[in-house]
């Protein structure tokens, strides 16, 4: 039983919708946030009476403020805030434009920054709270060169999560900041990427949104700070950085 009020941005489909449905099945109350009204209503209907939908744009600070106020007015508190908004971009690093970089940072970083900053006063007043930021394996190892700006934005998000945790827990140790890093997920992510790109549902080694959601729900319960959704992912990251700087020339 999860007796928590959870706000989920990017909740109209994919990982966000799957997390919402699983949380509601376990007794949580959820606030679903996204721009697409019809899709959001569909998710709310599947979740049942403990779900409350708010149409809002998480890349607008004023909209995020409105969500915070509405969620507290509806349920009396917020226990967990999940920053799940994100968009891919398909462009080689040498071809990136100012607009490409500005847009990917607006969507993938500023939406999370606004969520963390605007919910923080409520969490501090309660002395408790939990932010979960959804990152990516591409924020750990930038192995998809055509996702250059996306990878960079997720590296930024990872660092931002760590420094928020370090700052806030100096005075409010009951507030946690967690990072979840999925790999390829079978959603509309690839098809919705800026400048197009491969369909995520056709790439090898993928996970379903439901599999990733189960990991995120576990993070809601355990408050673990840094989690991968695939077995062996942490070892892969460690090996990648252990090999950086190695001299490829044979000895002698």
Q: Which helix (H) or strand (E) holds 97?
A: none
Tokens (6 digits) for 113: 């920054």
Gyration radius from the chain CA atoms? 18
Per the annotation, the verdict on 228 as an active-site residue is: no
The answer to whether 126 touches 77, Cβ cutoff 8 Å, is yes
Tokens (6 digits) for 169: 């827990």
DSSP 174: T
Task: Choose, from 114, 150, 228, 241, the residue flagged as catalytic.
Answer: 150
β-bridge mates for residue 32, sequence order: 8, 53
Query: How far is it between the farthest Cα atoms of the chain?
Result: 71
Question: At 46, is the secondary structure helix, strand, or coil?
Answer: helix
Q: Which residue has the tokens 């995120």?
A: 216
Strands 175-181 and 51-55: unpaired
Cα(156)–Cα(160) distance, integer angstroms = 6
Nearest to 109 by CA among 147, 161, 170: 161
Report the 10 Å Cβ neighbour count for 215.
19
The answer to whether 44 touches 29, Cβ cutoff 8 Å, is no
Contacts of 243 (CB under 8 A, 6+ apart): none
Active site residues per annotation: 150
């Amino acid at each position: 039983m999860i007796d928590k009020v959870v706000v989920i941005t990017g909740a109209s489909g994919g990982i966000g919708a799957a997390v919402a449905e699983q949380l509601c099945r376990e007794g949580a109350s959820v606030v679903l946030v996204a721009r697409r009204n019809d899709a959001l209503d569909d998710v709310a209907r599947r979740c049942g009476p403990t779900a409350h939908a708010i149409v809002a744009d998480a890349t607008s600070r004023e909209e995020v403020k409105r969500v915070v106020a509405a969620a507290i007015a509806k349920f009396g508190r917020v226990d967990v805030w999940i920053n799940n908004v994100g968009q891919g971009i398909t462009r080689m690093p040498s071809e990136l434009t100012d607009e490409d970089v500005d847009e990917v940072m607006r969507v993938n970083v500023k939406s999370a920054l606004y969520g963390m900053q605007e919910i923080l006063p409520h969490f501090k007043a309660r002395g408790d709270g939990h932010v979960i930021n959804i990152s990516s394996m591409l924020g750990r190892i930038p192995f998809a060169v055509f996702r250059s700006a996306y990878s960079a934005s997720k590296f930024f998000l990872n660092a931002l999560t760590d420094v928020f945790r370090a700052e806030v827990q100096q005075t409010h140790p009951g507030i946690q900041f967690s990072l979840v890093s999925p790999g390829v997920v079978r959603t509309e992510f690839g098809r919705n990427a800026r400048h197009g790109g491969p369909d995520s549902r056709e790439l090898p080694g993928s996970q379903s949104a439901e599999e990733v959601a189960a990991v995120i729900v576990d993070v809601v319960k355990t408050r673990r700070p840094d989690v991968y959704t695939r077995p062996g992912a942490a070892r892969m990251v460690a090996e990648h950085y252990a090999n950086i700087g190695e001299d490829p020339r044979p000895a002698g």
